[in-house]
Amino acid sequence: MPDRTLLRTPSGSGRAVSDAGVVRDALGVGVAVGVSGFAFGITAAGSGISLAQAAVLSLLVFTGASQFALVGALAAGGNPLTAAAGAFFLGTRNAFYGLQLAQVLRLPRRMRPVAAHGVIDETSLVALAQPDRRSARIGFAVTGVTIYALWNLTTVLGVLGASALGDPEAWGIDAAGPAVFLALLAPMLRSRTERAVAATAVLLVLAGQPLLPAGVPVLVAVLAVPVTLALRERAPRTVGTADREEAAPPSGGEREEES
Amino acid sequence: MSTWIAIGLTALGTYFVKLLGLSVPEGALERPRVRQLAALLPVALLAALTTVQTFGEGTSLVLDARAAGLAAAGLALVLRAPFLVVVGAAVLVTAGARAFGW
């Protein structure tokens, strides 16, 4: 999973890396993340998604958090538009990885439609951590191809394996989705601003859950971003703290994301 | 059928934003405000999704074995466990809690 602190290490530090070293690192990330398609396949099967639907999701969507969000929302009885909207918004972060990658990789125009499919958390992490363009391109390609191959293979195996397991709830498979989200979220909670947004989103979704149709509370929780930023800007002392680490704990009720 | 519609929309939408990021001219979306919103949007969504998939049951809130599983995942994250261990801990503890009838 992406360790976002690594994304912040300046590239171009002059550190020489061998191609073999880059490939080794990329394979390590690729295998570890690629096999988690197994968890997605089992979760998808438990959500009432067919083998074909799960396989198409992994082939064409290929961004794990959005896939988990979509099957989770459908399983909860959300309508297809709300479910797709949640998955889409979660995928928008890939556009910002793309912005950074475009500068680092300098891909020819004709390569972009293919490369775009591989723009996800982990490929971006590996590519942006490299000191030069050649290593970044190797890292991006090897991580992307490895994850794509394994993620799609293990998705199918997960769906098939799920039917052999019987009742997925007895095996605790329904806890895999939230654990994936928590693992993605934890490294993002660097500063007070991020923590305040997370706490506000939790409160909004808890408040909305009994009142709104399935899938909608998650979209409402996006309001945590403007609400938190507006509150921050009214308190001048804390303006612009997004990149500063602060030890003080945030205010807020449900804090199970705290790490 | 409606599941296929959701899948189609998600596939188109997620691919579009991936391609958009690689294709826009340098600096076009580099304004600090946009960057900040982009960084915070997934924080809000992930926090909300974690909560709703742990405590949600239809349109109500419940405290069941999944909460124990999520606590285990949180502990694994604090201990800097690899991704698969985090997910595995959540699954195993949830299954264990259910086996004990929670």
Query: What is the C-alpha to C-alpha distance for residues A59 and A74, in angstroms, rounded to an integer?
Result: 19
Beta-carbon separation of A175 and B45 below 8 A: no
- Domain containing B83: what range? 63-102
* Among candidate residues A165, A180, A209, the one where a domain is terminated: A165
pLDDT of residue A167: 76
Q: Total domain count for chain A?
A: 2
Q: Is residue B41 part of a domain?
A: no
Is the confidence at residue A242, as pLDDT, over 60? no
User: Between chains, do A198 and B98 touch, taking CB under 8 Å as contact?
Assistant: no
Dist. CA B65–CA B70, nearest whole Å: 9
Using CA atoms, how far apart are residues A11 and A240, in angstroms rounded to an integer? 24
Tell me: do A111 and A19 sit in the same domain: yes
What three-state secondary structure class fits B95? Answer: helix
Give the residue on A whose Cα is nearest the Cα of B88. Answer: A176
pLDDT at A13 (0 to 100)? 42
**Domain count within chain B:** 1
> Which residue reads 């912005």 in tokens?
A99
Residue A196's domain comprises 190-259
Option in A53, A116, A181 nearest B3 (CB): A53
DSSP states of A30-46 as a string?
Answer: HHHHHTTHHHHHHHHHH
Give the pLDDT band (50/70/90) at residue A116: very high
Position A204 scores a pLDDT of 97
Among A12-16, A59-63, A141-145, B51-55, whose mean pLDDT is lowest? A12-16
A107 inside domain: yes
Residue B70 falls inside a structural domain: yes
Identify the pLDDT of residue A58: 97
CB atoms B84 and A175 under 8 Å: no
pLDDT of residue A236: 60
Residue B74, domain member (yes or no) = yes
Q: Which residues of B touch A217 (CB under 8 A)?
A: 48, 52
Residue B32 domain flag: no
Among A108-122, A238-252, B74-88, which is the least confidently predicted range? A238-252
Task: Tell whether A140 and A28 lie within a shared domain.
Answer: yes
For B37-66, write each residue's pLDDT tens digit.
Answer: 777 888 998 899 899 989 988 788 999 999
Domain-located, residue B46:
no
Q: Are residues A41 and A147 in the same domain?
A: yes
Nearest CA in chain A to B37: A225
CA distance B102 to chain A (A): 11
Flag whether B96 is in a domain: yes
Q: What is the pLDDT of residue B92?
A: 95
Neighboring chain A residues of B82 at a CB cutoff of 8 Å: 32
Residue A126 lies in a domain: yes
* Cβ separation A209–B56 shorter than 8 A: yes
> Are both A142 and A43 inside the same structural domain?
yes
Nearest to A90 by CA among A65, A56, A62, A54: A65
- Residue B6, chain A, CB below 8 Å: the answer is yes
Taking the CA of residue A94 as centre, how many other CA atoms within 13 Å lie in the half-sphere pointing to its CB? 28
Residues A217 and A130 in one domain: no
Q: A202 and A140, same structural domain?
A: no
Same domain, yes or no, for A124 and A243?
no
Residue B10, min C-alpha distance to chain A (Å): 5
Question: Within a domain: residue B79?
Answer: yes
Q: Which candidate, A203, A199, A65, A127, places its Cα nearest to that of B42? A: A65
Task: Report CB contact under 8 Å: A179, B14.
Answer: no
Lowest-confidence region among A51-60, A82-91, A227-236, B71-80: A227-236
* Residues A112 and B19 sit within 8 Å (Cβ to Cβ): yes
Q: What is the pLDDT of residues A182-229, one digit of tens each?
A: 988 898 898 999 999 999 999 999 999 999 887 789 889 989 999 999
Q: Is residue A209 domain-shared with residue A91, that is, in the same domain?
A: no
Mean of pLDDT over chain A: 83
Residue B88 lies in a domain: yes
Nearest to B84 among A32, A178, A209 (CB): A32
Is A210 in Cβ contact with B90 (below 8 Å)?
Answer: no
Q: Indicate if the pLDDT at residue A41 is higher than 90.
A: yes
Is A117 inside a domain boundary?
A: yes
Is A146 found in the same domain as A24?
yes
B102 touches chain A (CB under 8 A): no
Q: Is A245 helix (H, G, I), strand (E, B) or coil?
A: coil
Same domain? For A203 and A120 the reply is no
**Average pLDDT per block of 10 residues along chain B, 102 residues long:** 93 96 75 79 90 88 95 96 87 94 82
A172 to B26: CB separation less than 8 angstroms, yes or no: no
Given a cut of 50, whether residue A234 has pLDDT beyond it is: yes
**Given a cut of 50, is residue A19 above it in pLDDT?**
yes
